[in-house]
Amino acid sequence: MLAEQFTDPVAFHGEGPVWSDSWGGLRWVDMFAGDILSLDGDTVNRRNVGPFVATLRPRQSGGAVIALERGFALEDAAGELTRLDQLWNIAGMRMNEGGCDPHGRFYCGSMAWDQRARAGSLYRLDGDGRVTVVQDDLTISNGLEWSPDGSLAYYNDTRTGRVAVFDYDEEFGLTGLRTFAEIPAEAGYPDGLTVDSEGCVWVALYAGGAVRRYTPDGTLDGVVEVGAHRVTACTFGGPRLDRLFITTSREDLVPGEDPLAGSLFVADVGVTGRAVREFAG
């Protein structure tokens, strides 16, 4: 299956697509520009929230929770932005990717700007504003999403070349990290991911030009080819959540190389996603 180009190359490093009816559709980020992008019909709108933005999720109260370079910000229903206290003051570290658990808590993983090994951590933001480190020794934290029943959380530390899975419950959080599926080096690097209504895991392959679908037992079940090499993330959207939106990047490319990189792509894959889990704060 081949994804269709949906926009022009509008992003330098497109990431983190999220569909929410409360937003009126799709949002994603142009990470190193600090811009949140949104669709209005065929028009792409931009809102700058600073020099860098990692990812975002809708809030139950309206607006969004947003991961910035060194911490979090809250957008209210009117669009007003409140930045929370920075989590660190040292240079060389930034947030990268995250998601909300079934109990409305927002997680985001950090990484080193130079991608040095085991420098990052996974942080959890609770609805009352408390922040907890739930995992250490991570390198490039990506792709956190839960199974339909909420008992599992799928996660990519990109440099490991694998899709991993945690057990999850409200009291103990994320436990039992283990391999879910191995990604061959020639196929690319596991980046963002999403989970469909059947419990299958869709994994974006950076430097692989594709999104792969894995069944709940870790078996490769399908491939969506993308017309750009650096595929970063994917999510289900549309009124029936039956379209797979895919972001791509122009990072480290020379002018004229991979001309569709930075575009948003879409594929009709014959299954539906699930409504995004929202932050309870």
Instruction: Please report, in range form, the residues annotated as the binding site for substrate.
Output: 94, 96, 114
**Residues with active-site annotation:** 191
From the number of C-beta atoms within 10 Å of its C-beta (0-12, 13-18, 19+), residue 157 rates as buried
Q: Determine the Cα–Cα distance for residues 163 and 154; give it in Å rounded to an integer.
A: 7
Q: Determine the Cα–Cα distance for residues 196 and 202; give it in Å rounded to an integer.
A: 8
Beta strands in 59-207 (DSSP E): 64-68, 72-75, 81-83, 93-100, 106-112, 120-125, 131-138, 141-146, 152-157, 162-169, 173-182, 189-195, 201-206
Q: Determine the Cα–Cα distance for residues 163 and 59; give it in Å rounded to an integer.
A: 27
Q: Which residues are annotated as a binding site?
A: 15, 94, 96, 114, 142, 191
Beta bridge partners of 39: 44
